[in-house]
Structure formats: structure tokens, C-alpha cells
């Protein structure tokens, strides 16, 4: 029922704008409005904080179905979970009450600020600094590649509180867009997910109350990594949706397109490509849903499974979307058809929330 409901909404209210959002590289406002009106913009927020209380699998299905028509728009529910999960996992009751309710209502979005210009895969090498001053913390630094920066009201920011301790000297904070000293860089000009704003976040003597720290001092990096264990599954869901969208489009196209006097769907070479695409998508789906169940239960092998789902599904998305372009021939290579956008959008799923090389490092360290 959830899938049917999200699919109908996505096809009616999000799909019609997907090409324009990409072409104009603009925020998918129509998608945000449609998702918020239907309580699908941040489904993961627990009911006790005014949210829909969707479990990890339901959240995956929402993201998958939105990504099937518009990957950029799927980053609204996905990044709302990414940004707020540190608060849900490690925040005080007061922080949860204060920040989750506006998120659930649709009054505010949440972003996640871990990466920096010189600290990507090696996120613990970050330089953003938070220094205690009485009842406040003062933050200085630059966060890079921040999804929904400028659109979000709230930002989970990881910053160094003790430079001697490397990852154990990093703490997490909630920073608000309206805090003095917060500003944003120009939107990045990207290959894909062009509707999803990616900007730098500048923290210039940002003074925030001490109770904005998420969890204990020194636990920020652990919280950031624990968050990714859960949210990499949402990237797998996004990859899955993009791949399914490309397969669905190609499936329809091959029945219409005629060469050598018959639909190209009649050629075994084409049929085998479609079979392989569907097979890979289904394998990715099973791995992703199983990982979502592990996320919900907090199973001990979640770290491996989350990385495996993200890595596998994103590789599948890249292969399947590339094959979809192939199946449309020259037409697939043009912006008159949606599959080239899907191919460009798929690429990011192999890069963010840890590149697929990093996923393999994570898997190797946590072999089942
Ligand atoms: C569109 C977009 C949105 C993003 N959104 C966010 C966000 O909202 N919040 C956030 O915090 N970050 C975000 N990111 C950042 C993203 O997570 C990083 O780009 C990613 O982790 C890679 O870091 P990097 O770009 O510095 O690449 P690098 O770390 O410089 O990696 C370059 C290459 O080296 C490889 N490499 C690095 N180390 C190793 C190793 N040990 N072994 C093998 N290979 C290695 C990588 O796999 C990669 O191929 C976003 C990025 C993009 C492009």
C-alpha cells in the first residue's frame, strides 16, 4: 500500500518536473511540497516527536519510489534522515523535542556536515574546530559538499573539540541556518542530481549554546559513523529506484522501437540485456531490504550489510542505467529521453556517504 501510494504521488506530482529540475539545476520545490503535504518528507521521525514513525524498510520504499522518477527529489527524505539521525541516535531528549518536531511538521529540513575540502574519505582528518567558551561553543571551519545546504534550517556539524585525540576528539553539534556566522558557498555545478543543492557551509565564529552538543564530548565521530551504517541503506534505496526507473523506461521503449521490421524487444540480444538488468536490480533490492531490516533491529552485522547494500546497489544502478542508454541507442544519448539523466544521477550513489572503495574497506574490516 505504501509503495502504491508513493508511486502514484511520485508519478503525478514529482515526475512531471524531473527533467526541468535537472535542466535548470533548480531545487525541486514541487517535490518538497508534494512530499510534505503527504507526510513523506521525513517519514523516519518517531511518532513521539510528531513524525510518521516509518521503520527503516518503509523509509527505503519511500526513497526508492521517489528516486524511480527523480533522484534529486529522493534526497529530500534521504538527507532529512541523514541530518537528523545523529540527534535521534545520540541526542538529549531536549534536543530531540526541539529539532525533530519542526522537521516532522515540514517546517525545517536537516543537513549533515561531515566532509571538508581536505577531509573526504579520511573524514577524521577534519579541521573544523569547536572551542568551549563558558556555556557556549564557538565553531570555525568549512564543510564541503553539503546536500541541501541553504535549504535546510538545521545542520548536524562534526567538529574537532580535542585535536590531540583525532577521531575521539570530534564532537557533533546542531547548528541552525540563522545562527550568526553561518553562510553558504555557490551551488556546485554537478554531473547529476542537479536539482539537489550541494554547497559549502562556512562557520565563522558561530557561537552556540553548550546544550546543542549531540551526545557527550568526543563521541561525534562515532555518532557520525553509526549514522552512516543506517543511512547508507537509503543510498542503496536511491540507487535501486534510479535503476528501476531506467529499466521501466527501457522496457516500454523496446516494444515501440522497430528495426529490421519488428520491435527491437523481439531480438534475443535485447531480451538478455533486460533480463540481466532485472536480475541485478532484484538482487540489489533483496540485499537493501534485508539491510533495512537489520537497521531496524540494530543487528550486530549492520555495518557490513549497510556497506554491502550501498556498494552493490550503486554499482547495479550504474550498470543498469548505462544499459538503458544503450537500449535506446542514439535517442538514449539525448536529453529528450530520461535515461541519460538517470545514468548521470546514478554515478553519485557510488561516491557519497563513502565511495565504493571506502565501502569495501568497511566490509573488509567487518567480514561476516
Ligand atoms: C553531490 C554530493 C553530495 C554530498 N553530500 C554530502 C553531505 O550532505 N554531507 C557530507 O558530509 N558529505 C557529502 N558529500 C561528500 C562525499 O561523501 C565525499 O565526496 C566522499 O566521501 C569522497 O570524499 P572526497 O570527495 O574528498 O574524495 P577522496 O577522499 O579524495 O577520494 C578520491 C578517490 O580516492 C579513493 N580513496 C580514498 N581513500 C582511499 C583508500 N583508503 N583506499 C582506496 N581508495 C581510496 C576514493 O575512493 C576516490 O575514488 C557529498 C558529495 C557529493 C559529490
pLDDT in tens, 25-81: 999 999 999 999 999 999 999 999 999 999 999 999 999 999 999 999 999 999 999
| pLDDT attached to residue 211 | 97
Using pLDDT thresholds of 50, 70 and 90, give the confidence band for residue 16. very high
| pLDDT attached to residue 109 | 98
Query: What grid cell was written down for 126?
Result: 577534519
Instruction: Quote the ligand 1 centre to 307 CA distance (angstroms).
Output: 14
Atom of ligand 1 at shortest distance to CA of 357? 47
Pocket of ligand 1 (CB under 6 A): 111-115, 120-121, 145-147, 190, 193, 198, 348, 351-355, 357-358, 361
Mutation probe of ligand 1 site: the residue of 122, 149, 355 with most atoms within 8 A of C-beta: 355
Mutation probe of ligand 1 site: the residue of 352, 361, 364 with most atoms within 8 A of C-beta: 352
| pLDDT attached to residue 116 | 98
**Known catalytic residues?**
353
| Share of residues in the chain with pLDDT > 70 (%) | 100
Atom of ligand 1 at shortest distance to CA of 122? 29
Mutation probe of ligand 1 site: the residue of 25, 86, 120 with most atoms within 8 A of C-beta: 120
Instruction: Quote the ligand 1 centre to 317 CA distance (angstroms).
Output: 18
pTM: 0.98
Amino acid at each position: 500500500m505504501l509503495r502504491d501510494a508513493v508511486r502514484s504521488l511520485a508519478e503525478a506530482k514529482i515526475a512531471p518536473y524531473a527533467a526541468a529540475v535537472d535542466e535548470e539545476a533548480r531545487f525541486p520545490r514541487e517535490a518538497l511540497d508534494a512530499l510534505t503535504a503527504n507526510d513523506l518528507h521525513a517519514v523516519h521521525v518517531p511518532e513521539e516527536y510528531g513524525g510518521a514513525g516509518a521503520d527503516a524498510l518503509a523509509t527505503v520504499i519511500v526513497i526508492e519510489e521517489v528516486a524511480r522518477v527523480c533522484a534529486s527529489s529522493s534526497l529530500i527524505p534521504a538527507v532529512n534522515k541523514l541530518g537528523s539521525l545523529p540527534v535521534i541516535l545520540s541526542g538529549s531528549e531536549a534536543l530531540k523535542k526541539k529539532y525533530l518536531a519542526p522537521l516532522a511538521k515540514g517546517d525545517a529540513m536537516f543537513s549533515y556536515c561531515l566532509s571538508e575540502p581536505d577531509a573526504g574519505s579520511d573524514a577524521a582528518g577534519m579541521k573544523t574546530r569547536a572551542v568551549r567558551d563558558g556555556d557556549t561553543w564557538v565553531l570555525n571551519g568549512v564543510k564541503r559538499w553539503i546536500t541541501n545546504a541553504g535549504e535546510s534550517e538545521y545542520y548536524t556539524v562534526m567538529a574537532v573539540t580535542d585535536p590531540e585525540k583525532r577521531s575521539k576528539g570530534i564532537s557533533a553539534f546542531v547548528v541552525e541556518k540563522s545562527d550568526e556566522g553561518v553562510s553558504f558557498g555557490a551551488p556546485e555545478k554537478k554531473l547529476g542530481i542537479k536539482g539537489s543543492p550541494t554547497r559549502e557551509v562556512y562557520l565563522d565564529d558561530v557561537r552556540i549554546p553548550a546544550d546543542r552538543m549531540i551526545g557527550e564530548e568526543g563521541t561525534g565521530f562515532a555518532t557520525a559513523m553509526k549514522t552512516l551504517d543506517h543511512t547508507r541503506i537509503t543510498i542503496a534505496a536511491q540507487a535501486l529506484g534510479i535503476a528501476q526507473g531506467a529499466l521501466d523506461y527501457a522496457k516500454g521503449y523496446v516494444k515501440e522501437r522497430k528495426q529490421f521490421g519488428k520491435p527491437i524487444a523481439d531480438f534475443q540480444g535485447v531480451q538478455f540485456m533486460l533480463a540481466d538488468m532485472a536480475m541485478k536490480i532484484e538482487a540489489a533490492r533483496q540485499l537493501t531490504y534485508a539491510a533495512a531490516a537489520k537497521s531496524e533491529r540494530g543487528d550486530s552485522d549492520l555495518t557490513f550489510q549497510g556497506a554491502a547494500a550501498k556498494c552493490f546497489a550503486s554499482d547495479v544502478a550504474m550498470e543498469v542505467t548505462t544499459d538503458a542508454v544503450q537500449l535506446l541507442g542514439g535517442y538514449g544519448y539525448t536529453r529528450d529521453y530520461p535515461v541519460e539523466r538517470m545514468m548521470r544521477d546514478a554515478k553519485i550513489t557510488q561516491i557519497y556517504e563513502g565511495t565504493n572503495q571506502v565501502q569495501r574497506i568497511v566490509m573488509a574490516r567487518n567480514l561476516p
